[in-house]
A and B are shown apart, each in its own frame.
Chain A
Amino acid sequence: MDRETERYRSLTRRALVLGGVQTGLFGALAARMYYLQVVERERYQVLAEENRINIRLSVPSRGRIVDRFGVPLAVNNQNFRVVLVAEEAGDVEETLDRLSRIVTLTDFERRRALRDIGRRRAFVPVTLVENLGWRQVARLEANAPRLPGISIEVGELRHYPHGPATAHILGHVGAVSESELTGDPVLALPGFRIGKTGVERQLEENLRGEAGASQVEVNALGRVIRELQRDEGTPGADVRLTIDIGLQEYVQDRLRAERSAAAVILDVETGEVFAMASQPSFDPNQFTTGISMDAWNGLVNDPHGPLNNKAITGQYAPGSTFKMLVALAALEEGVIGPGYQAWCPGFLELGNHRFHCWRRGGHGWTALAEAISQSCDVYFYEVSRRIGIEKIAAMAHRFGLGLRTGIDLPGEKEGLMPTRAWKQAALGQPWQPGETLIAAIGQGYVLATPLQLAVMAARIANGRGQVRPRVTLRLGESGDPVADVPPADLGVSEASLALVRDGMVRVTSSPTGTARWAQIDVAGMEMAGKTGTSQVRRISTAERLSGIIRNEDRPWRLRDHALFVAYAPIQTPRYAAAVVVEHGGSGSRTAAPIARDILLECQQRNPARQLVADAGADAGARPAGSGGSAP
């Protein structure tokens, strides 16, 4: 056998073996095909028809918001809602007809449902009705066989047990808008709610949590056959506020008599806000359960702005509540001394203009204490003329005016503390000497929010640091309050502050004080304060000659704003407050009594009691849980 033949035979043999193996493998393929397509056919047909693997995101439970003592302010209620899967329903119209015999389905809801069904793919569930009651749920379950494609899902609904009392601080949640869509996939879930205002918005990140994901096999009826994998997600963290809900409700209630007002009470040491109220208010629960068009328009068009938190967004001329800062600027600059007196004949002339004191006859020779307690305008005209607007503005900034306080709430306004540079930049005009005088009595360009005024009062009472306000409680890992970073030094001498405080004490204590009828008559709880009445219109010379029209005789919109800032108790100040009543007429008659009532209530509740890590000098400090009233 020659070599070539030998080689060819070997090759042929092996090629046939290889071909045989290949044929065998092809046979295996054919067998496998037969197995899948004939033997297992039914199983795979069922799977193909019914089996869909879905990844379902589960909405994380939103964190609760509680007050400083743990009372729930924002919670999640169970929300039973009816959903429809169009491809299972068959005749959607008929199913809706049957459904409407059990659950009231408004025309609007019906149209919205049909629209949603039209837009989405047939196997995507569409929400028809939310917030079912137990009875409706039971009836739906009983009628389930007659309602193909209809199922009941349980979701969560934000609920605010205290409604209007906490509306402005907490804000509310609402549907995610286009601009709010970030990378977080949970935001795209239908029906997901995001914080729109207030704490709900400020602490959205903390409250939201992380979406869970479950991978499920669902059949053609939309029922989950089995869960393949589940990631529970992380519920949102609870948030604890500095608010004392009891006090908050009291303050909100106390303002109810007024058409438009705001009040703030905070801790002069820590800046923790115990209560912050804005009148009128609204019930945020309307938004989560669906608000009618009329009710919505009513809220939006109400001239008193119920949706605004006036405590941080309302900007008012502070009026005479500003005078302490002028006094402090002058004392610190050495322009006036403790014994300085100004002569008040009822007016001061500067150039060819006459600046009037609120008391036509004047106050005669007036020292600082009387100038504050009787709110003599001419005294402050004279002092401000000597130190100028820049020094006043610098002092005002130290006490928080004209700057955002940095409170942890969205939308805070910064007010306005005018300076020469500001006027040149904003209005393109040079500063007029007379404008310094106007600013010195908190009029003209000066604007402040009620929160800023409360902070100012707190800093005067504290005297050491630039206390910063906040509404969320800082808690350490153990759950105890964490000491705040020491605030920046106020940089004002105690001697000057003592003189000013003395004037503020006399406002409520002296027989000639402007708020003498508003002193707290509980021993050890007395308050010091300052009235403010700020004009919202110009008083003409003619009117001044013929007698200024009394507030009560003017239309509401033209009446003066009534303001009062205060702290208590006098000896060891712990609480500071500011009250602003829009067009309330007079600070002493309208605002001061409110301040008196809320500060008394506050001291009796003593919300600061549990938060003092080191009781130290504070008389109000008590062991946790003792409750009751302060000494």
Chain B
Amino acid sequence: MSLIARLDGSHDEPGMRLAEKVIQLPWTLVLLIGLLAAAGFAMLYSAAHGSMDPWASRQIMRFALGVAMMVVVALVDIRLWLRLAYPFYFLAFASLLAVEVVGFTGMGAQRWIDLGILQLQPSEIMKVAMVLALARYFHGPTLEEVWRPSRLIVPAMIILAPAGLVLKQPDLGTALMLLMVGGAMLFIAGVRLWKFAVVVFAGLSSIPIVWQSLHDYQRDRILTFLDPERDPLGAGYHILQSKIALGSGGVWGKGFLGGTQSHLNFLPERQTDFIFTMLAEEFGLAGGLGLLGLYFLVLVHGVAIGLTSRNHFGRMLALGLTTNIFLYVFINIAMVMGLIPVVGVPLPLISYGGTAMLAVLFALGLIMSVYVHRETRIPRRDFRAGI
């Protein structure tokens, strides 16, 4: 309380008291988050064949913790986040490096740091930290400055360094997500389109080289994606079973706890990556579109918040984080429907898992902070002087 009050002390703005800030919170967005999380609890309850254990109860506790954190994050002055952006990024980068050293292999890849009470996935933190750092970087330069190629060196490093590390773990899905979020932020920052064309062309022409460096399981996944029949009992099996589960759900679904595919264990990882499949099996097209609609409203909120902020940092931050959440949702749902290869990306607020839940709520907290402090003007340069 006192911490927030102190952090709140701004001089050049009409000071907002804490109570005012709380009222300023985007409550519709909070409601949408609550609805999504509740759907997640219901699906975890169903995934455990109608039991709170082992997933739903723990997920609820994590969500409660995460929401508290989200509100705190939302109330922290946006300028503090601006100041903390680079330190936070370096911290995340350091912990990503640490994974290479102390991280242990979970799910066939090095992705975790064990902190005793929870296993931390630095790559999840990095997704938020990278957006913060890029927003911080693009707060300064004018559009003409952004157009200068020399101005792209630092952001390129901000994006490529963690992406390279994550790729080395190896976690192809997360690496691609970092690249896409970074690219999206460069796009909204105003980088010239022909530069994207060059990068895309270079990327396409490097495919043969990249192909050589891929792990066998990654090649398998891509090949299986292109032709799922290739391995109907291995990787393709998951997608096939997922499609069967989804398709058999029909318009109205098989009813809560009634998903035969899910409950007969035909569906792999039904509490994490494939939880959308179970939802769509039990609640049908109606449930699936309903969930998609909720996410869409969240994203609309994010974009609207980004466009209403009076400071560029806030705009970049909100739009970048919204894109990040969009990618989570899109990649996950597209994967379980067989539109893209199988990559281990959770469904935000729904999938079981600690770090992902906290990372998403942290990101949403930042978006809310942008909203709460939308009237705050921050000078392009020498913004430190004001604090």
Q: What is the interface of chain A, defined by CB distance below 8 A to chain B?
A: 3-4, 6-8, 10-12, 14-16, 18-19, 22-23, 25-26, 28-30, 32-34, 36-38, 40-41, 43-45, 47-49, 51, 53, 55, 215, 228-229
Is B142's beta carbon under 8 Å from chain A?
A: yes
Does B245 count as interface, using CB distance less than 8 angstroms? yes
Tell me how far the C-beta of B168 lies from the nearest C-beta in chain A, rounded to whole angstroms: 29
Chain A contacts for B189, CB-based, 8 A: 11
For residue A11, which residues in chain B have a CB less than 8 angstroms away from its CB?
188-190, 312, 315-316, 319
Closest chain-A Cβ to B378's Cβ sits at a distance in Å of 11
Contact: A7 with B319, CB < 8 Å? no
The answer to whether the Cβ of B76 comes within 8 Å of any Cβ in the partner chain is no
Q: Is A18's CB under 8 angstroms from B323's CB?
A: yes
Smallest CB–CB gap between B49 and chain A, Å? 16
Pairs across A and B, CB under 8 Å, 13 listed = A14-B188, A15-B306, A18-B184, A18-B188, A18-B319, A22-B326, A25-B330, A26-B295, A29-B330, A37-B288, A38-B251, A40-B247, A48-B260
Q: Kindly provide the distance from the CB of B301 to the nearest chain A CB, expressed in whole angstroms.
A: 12
B188 and A41 contacting across the interface, CB-CB below 8 Å: no
Query: Bound complex: CA of A8 vs CA of B308, how far in Å?
Result: 10
Give the residues in chain B near A6, CB-CB below 8 Å: 142-143
Dominant secondary structure at the B interface: helix
B190 touches which of A7, A43, A55 (Cβ 8 Å): A7
Q: Contacts A33-B285, A37-B251 hold; do A48 and B245 have CB atoms under 8 A apart? A: yes
Query: Are A15 and B307 within 8 A (Cβ)?
Result: yes
- Give 10 closest A-B pairs by Cβ, nearest first: A44-B247, A48-B248, A37-B285, A36-B247, A45-B248, A3-B142, A44-B248, A10-B190, A14-B188, A47-B244
Within 270-299 of B, Cβ neighbours of A (below 8 Å) are at 280, 284-285, 288-289, 292, 295-296, 299
Pair A26/B296 contact, Cβ less than 8 Å: yes
CB nearest to B248 among chain A residues? A48
Shortest Cβ distance from A129 into chain B, in angstroms? 30
Assembled-state Cα–Cα distance A102/B164 (Å): 71
- In the bound complex, residues from chain A placing their C-beta under 8 Å from that of B245 are 48
B339 within 8 A of A: yes
The docked-state distance in angstroms from the alpha carbon of A499 to that of B300 is: 113
Residues on B with C-beta less than 8 A from A229 are 233
Which chain B positions have C-beta within 8 A of A30? 289, 292
- Given A10, A12, A22, A48, which contacts B323 in the complex, CB threshold below 8 Å? A22
B187 touching A37, Cβ below 8 Å: no
B192 CB, min distance to chain A CBs, angstroms: 11
Q: Is the beta-carbon distance between A26 and B232 smaller than 8 angstroms?
A: no
Closest to A228 in B: B232
B367 at the interface (CB under 8 A from A): no
Query: Measuring CB to CB, which residues of chain B are less than 8 angstroms from any residue of chain A?
Result: 142-144, 184, 187-190, 232-233, 237, 243-251, 260-261, 280, 284-285, 288-289, 292, 295-296, 299-300, 303, 306-307, 312, 315-316, 319, 323, 326, 330, 333-334, 337, 339, 380
Which A residues are CB-close (under 8 A) to B292? 26, 29-30, 33
> In terms of DSSP, what is the predominant structure of the interface of chain A?
helix
Most buried by A among B144, B233, B248, B334: B248
CB pair A51 B244 closer than 8 Å: yes
A-B contact count (CB 8 A): 123
- What 19 additional pairs, Cβ within 8 angstroms, besides A14-B187, A28-B339, A47-B248? A6-B142, A6-B143, A7-B190, A10-B190, A11-B316, A11-B319, A15-B303, A15-B307, A18-B323, A22-B299, A26-B292, A26-B330, A29-B334, A29-B339, A32-B339, A33-B288, A41-B250, A44-B246, A48-B247
Question: Judging by beta carbons under 8 Å apart, are B243 and A36 in contact?
Answer: yes
User: Closest A-chain residue to B281, C-beta based?
Assistant: A48
B188 cross-chain contacts in A, Cβ below 8 A: 11, 14-15, 18
Q: How far is the CA of A14 from the CA of B306 in the complex (A)?
A: 12
Residue among B188, B306, B330 with the highest chain A CB neighbour number at 10 A: B188
Contact B289 A33 (CB under 8 A): yes
Which residues of chain A are within 8 angstroms of B243 by Cβ–Cβ distance?
Answer: 36, 44
A residues less than 8 Å from B312 (CB atoms): 4, 7-8, 11
Residues in B neighbouring A18, C-beta threshold 8 A = 184, 187-188, 319, 323
Which of A29, A37, A41 has the most C-beta atoms of chain B within 10 angstroms of its own C-beta?
A: A37
Cβ–Cβ contact A37 & B244, under 8 A? no
Give min CB distance, B121 to chain A, whole Å: 24
> What is the CB-to-nearest-CB distance from B234 to chain A, in angstroms, rounded to a whole number?
10
In the bound complex, residues from chain B placing their C-beta under 8 Å from that of A49 are: 248
Q: Which residue of B lies closest to A7 (CB)?
A: B143
Chain A residue nearest to B300 (CB atoms) is A19
**Which residues of the other chain, B, contact A16 by a CB distance below 8 angstroms?**
303
Closest beta carbon of chain B to A315's beta carbon, Å: 56
Q: Which of A14, A19, A53 contacts B232, CB < 8 Å?
A: A53
The residue that A48 contacts in the complex, of B261, B299, B337, with Cβ under 8 A, is B261
B236 to chain A, nearest CB (A): 11
Verify B190–A37 contact, CB threshold 8 A: no
User: Shortest CB–CB separation between residue B317 and chain A, in angstroms?
Assistant: 12
A215 to B307, CA, bound (A): 55
B124 → chain A closest CB, angstroms? 21
- Closest-by-CB residue of B relative to A48 is B248
Inside 8 A of B184's CB, which chain A residues have their CB?
A: 18
B319, A32: Cβ atoms closer than 8 Å: no
CB <8 Å contact, B250 and A37? yes
Knowing A26-B296, A48-B261, the reply to whether A37 touches B280 (Cβ < 8 A) is yes
| Most A CB within 10 A of own CB, among B244, B249, B300 | B244
Closest-CB distance, A123 to chain B (whole angstroms): 11
Cβ of A33 and Cβ of B280 under 8 Å apart?
Answer: yes
A11 to B144: give the CA distance in the assembly, Å: 13
A34-B286 Cα distance, complex, nearest whole Å:
10
Q: How far is the CB of A257 from chain B (nearest CB, A)?
A: 62
Question: From A23, which residue of chain B is reached at the shortest CB distance?
Answer: B296
What is the CB-to-nearest-CB distance from B179 to chain A, in angstroms, rounded to a whole number? 15
B330 adjacent to A45 (CB under 8 Å) = no
Collect the chain A residues with CB atoms within 8 Å of residue B190's CB: 7, 10-11, 14
A622 to B256, CA, bound (A): 83
- Docked Cα-Cα span, A44 to B338, in Å, equals 14
Report the bound CA distance from A522 to B232 in whole Å.
Answer: 73
